[in-house]
Structure 1
Amino acid sequence: MASDDQHPPDTIPTATLQERVYRELREAIMLGQFHPGDAMTIRGLAEKLGTSMMPAREALRRLVAERALTLLPNRRVAVPRMTPETFRELTEARVALEVLAARRAFPATDPALADRLAAINTQQDEAIAAGDWSGYQERNRAFHFALYACAPAQVLMPLIESLWLQIGPFLYLTRESLGTTYLDDRHEEAIAAIKDRDEDGLALAIEQDIRDGMGGLPALLANRVPPPTGGPE
């Protein structure tokens, strides 16, 4: 199959272009590159991504359907705002589904996976040391999904991705506290559990990683004054 790079920008097949725009915007939301409350317009998104309005419109429509974006009464699209209640619900849902995914993956884990996860974890630590917030978020996601992918699940994985999409914008608030919010994680414990063939230990490490990583975020939500609405206009 030909890649997008083999087509001039104005001749990329419509279906391929729509998928690329959708995936780029979805990735940005999941990695916390938009602030809760940011408004988006079709025209602004098209200009930002260098595309026509039709792929931008379709990307927004799909992401509203996935609850990653919300449709306002004035028909504008925005990144949802987070409430403490919603945050707690999303946290508990992540724990339930990702612990299940880790347990499903466990029989397929091996030393090669442990080495791969260790390399990802090292890259994550390097991102923290460099103050690379986006790199940290990308490597953290890569760690979790590399583990869960050991046991592909047609129902479970889309649900987990949906939760990451809904939580992603809230992670924007942690940009200024990267060096203090993420002092510890449970990735090394998860890797050790895989090497020791300890399924319960792996499940506990994943649960605690989620709870520890998100535990201090409600305080940021409560104490942070929302900035003016931004995003592509």
Structure 2
Amino acid sequence: MDTSQLDLVYEPRLHGETVQQWVFRRLRRSVMSGRFPPGQAVTIRGLAEALGVSAMPVREALRRLVAERALVLLDNRRARVPEMTARRFEELMAARTLLECEAASRALPLADRGFIRRLHALNRDSDAAVEANDTEAMIETNLAFHGALYGGRPDNVLLPLIESVWLQIGPFMRMALEDLETHYPVDRHAEALAALEARDEAALRRAIEADIRDGIGHLRARLG
């Protein structure tokens, strides 16, 4: 693939962050948000040029992403998103459902007015992205909503596990959004917010499970 055509997520380098840390964070977020098209290889040299860095931090970032099963190395210079089989997809969906329903349940004690107000704002951003039919924004705002819901505790151990699953399924999100209105007729984020406000754990779990199922579960039929 011509890496100049790869639209990497923009992530400014943080104060005190090394080049290697920044490259990894930016590439990881790009994979998670579907910026690496399935089946198309990228080169270390091309990514290094796109990021304006040497090959070394890119090579190390790709090595770490391979370890997280987000990418596979084709040789010592190229990488791509792994092929998705129906069985692997089903396992990733099961992992998402188990982890995210539990993480949402554990967010209930944190759901004060400020927490819920922030989620409402993020959901409005998500609605605006859908209204504008902005695929990039739809993916980013969805990740932001779920990340804020699950990641409220400073000692959170579930969110990194969830992000590991998002890395493996993220490249296929664009495919899932192609017919969003057909498969996602109900605003499951709104249902989750209502459940949070009512302190209804069972309803919250149902909303998150339905959000995952409606949002991407229909891809199972396309994978055979």
TM-score clears 0.5: yes
Mapped contact 2:73–2:79 kept (Cα < 8 A): yes
> C-alpha distance in 1, partners of 2:181/2:190?
18
Give the aligned partner of residue 196 of structure 2. Answer: 194
> C-alpha distance in 2, partners of 1:158/1:169?
18
Give the aligned partner of residue 221 of structure 2. Answer: 219
Mapped contact 1:173–1:220 kept (Cα < 8 A): no
> C-alpha distance in 2, partners of 1:180/1:44?
37
> C-alpha distance in 2, partners of 1:178/1:205?
17
Residue correspondences, number: 212
Which one-letter code corresponds to 1:132 in the other structure? D
Structure 2: unaligned runs, 5 residues or longer: 1-11
Amino-acid identity (%): 54
Give the aligned partner of residue 115 of structure 1. Answer: 117
SS of the residue aligned with 2:18? helix
> C-alpha distance in 1, partners of 2:147/2:48?
29
> C-alpha distance in 2, partners of 1:182/1:136?
13
Shift of 1:103: 1.3
* Residues 155 and 149 of structure 1: CA distance in aligned 2, closer, same or farther (over 3 Å): closer
Give the aligned partner of residue 162 of structure 1. Answer: 164
* 1:135 corresponds to which of 130, 134, 137: 137
Which deviates more, 211-220 or 49-58?
Answer: 211-220
Mapped contact 2:93–2:217 kept (Cα < 8 A): no
SS of the residue aligned with 2:121? helix
Between structure 1 and structure 2, the one with the greater Rg is: 1
Which one-letter code corresponds to 1:173 in the other structure? M
Shift of 1:174: 3.4
* CA deviation string 1:197-226 (max 9, x = no partner): 11221121111111111222223445xxxx
Shift of 1:106: 1.0
> C-alpha distance in 2, partners of 1:200/1:151?
21
* CA deviation string 1:67-90 (max 9, x = no partner): 111123x44321111111111100
* CA deviation string 1:40-59 (max 9, x = no partner): 21101101212111111111
Which one-letter code corresponds to 1:22 in the other structure? F
> C-alpha distance in 2, partners of 1:124/1:177?
16
* CA deviation string 1:93-112 (max 9, x = no partner): 00001111111111111222
TM-score (norm 2): 0.86
TM-score (norm 1): 0.83
SS of the residue aligned with 1:77? strand
> C-alpha distance in 1, partners of 2:29/2:183?
22
RMSD: 2.1
Structure 1: unaligned runs, 5 residues or longer: 7-12, 223-233
The structure with higher relative contact order (CA 8 Å, sep 6+) is 1
Give the aligned partner of residue 106 of structure 1. Answer: 108
Which one-letter code corresponds to 1:64 in the other structure? V
Q: 5 Å matches for 1:1-233?
A: 4=13, 16-72=18-74, 74-75=75-76, 76-174=78-176, 176-178=178-180, 180-221=182-223
